[in-house]
Amino acid sequence: MSDRHDTIRAIEWRDDRLYLLDQRLLPHRLEYLACGTAPAVAEAIRKMVVRGAPAIGIAAAYGVVLAARDAHAVDPAGWRSAMELDLRLLESARPTAVNLKWALERMRAVMQQIEKDPEARLLQEARRIHEEDVRANRRMGELGAELIGERCAVLTHCNAGSLATGGFGTALGVIRAAFSAGRIERVYADETRPWLQGARLTAWELVQDGIPVTLLVEGAAAWLMARGLVEWVIVGADRIAANGDVANKIGTYSAAVNARRHGVKFMVVAPLSTIDPETPDGHSIPIEERPQEEILELAGQPLTAAGATAWNPSFDVTPAELIDAIVTERGVILNPDRKKIGALFQREGDCCNDQE
Residues with catalytic function: 238
CA distances from 5 to 117, 120, 314 (A): 40, 33, 29
CA triplet 71, 76, 78: central angle to 5 degrees?
75
Tell me how far apart the alpha carbons of residues 119 and 64 are, in angstroms, rounded to a whole number.
9
Phi and psi for 208 in degrees, rounded to 5? -60, -35
Tell me how far apart the alpha carbons of residues 220 and 208 are, in angstroms, rounded to a whole number.
25
CA triplet 211, 247, 21: central angle to 5 degrees?
50
Q: Please answer whether residues 160 and 235 qualify as being in contact, where contact means their C-beta atoms are separated by less than 8 angstroms.
A: yes
The amino acid at residue 326 is: I
Burial of 27 by CB count in 10 Å (0-12 exposed, 13-18 middle, 19+ buried)?
A: middle
Tell me how far apart the alpha carbons of residues 233 and 239 are, in angstroms, rounded to a whole number.
18
Give the pairing type, strands 32-35 and 184-190: unpaired
Tell me how far apart the alpha carbons of residues 255 and 329 are, in angstroms, rounded to a whole number.
24
Strand partners, 318: 246
Query: Max Cα separation, the chain?
Result: 66
**Other beta carbons less than 10 A from residue 258's beta carbon:** 21
By three-state DSSP, how is residue 311 classified?
coil
Strand partners, 215: 189
Burial of 13 by CB count in 10 Å (0-12 exposed, 13-18 middle, 19+ buried)?
A: middle
DSSP class of residue 289 equals: B
